Amino acid sequence: MVEVLIITALVIWSAIFVFKKVFPKSAYSVFSKLAQLCRSRGWNGLAKWLQPAMVAGCGGGCGCSTDTSEAPKKVEVQAVKWK
């Protein structure tokens, strides 16, 4: 019985995670609506937990960042020359 509960929780968590990654705009709207519903019923803690973070950058879920600082440049690996 406990195994079924653990597997069910993992499957639900995985489905939510994939939904957020594959459909970021739809996930944002769904979680916003759920947070509004919870807030209207007085469940402020759950509403705060469900409220999605504000979209930054292009909002397409492509991983682009609005951070203006440049990423540290990688040191190029040079080939070893044998004499």
- For 18-31, write each residue's pLDDT tens digit: 999 999 999 999 99
More confident residue, 34 or 79: 34
Token pair in block for residue 71: 């990423």
Question: What's the N-to-C CA distance of the chain in angstroms?
Answer: 68
Q: Which of 15 and 74 is assigned the larger pLDDT? A: 15
DSSP 7-65: HHHHHHHHHHHHHHHH-HHHHHHHHHHHHHHHHHTT-HHHHHHHSPPPP-TTSSSS---
Long-range contacts of 65-72 (CB under 8 A, 24+ apart): none
**pTM for the whole thing?**
0.57
Mean pLDDT, rounded, for 53-61:
61
pLDDT at 30: 92
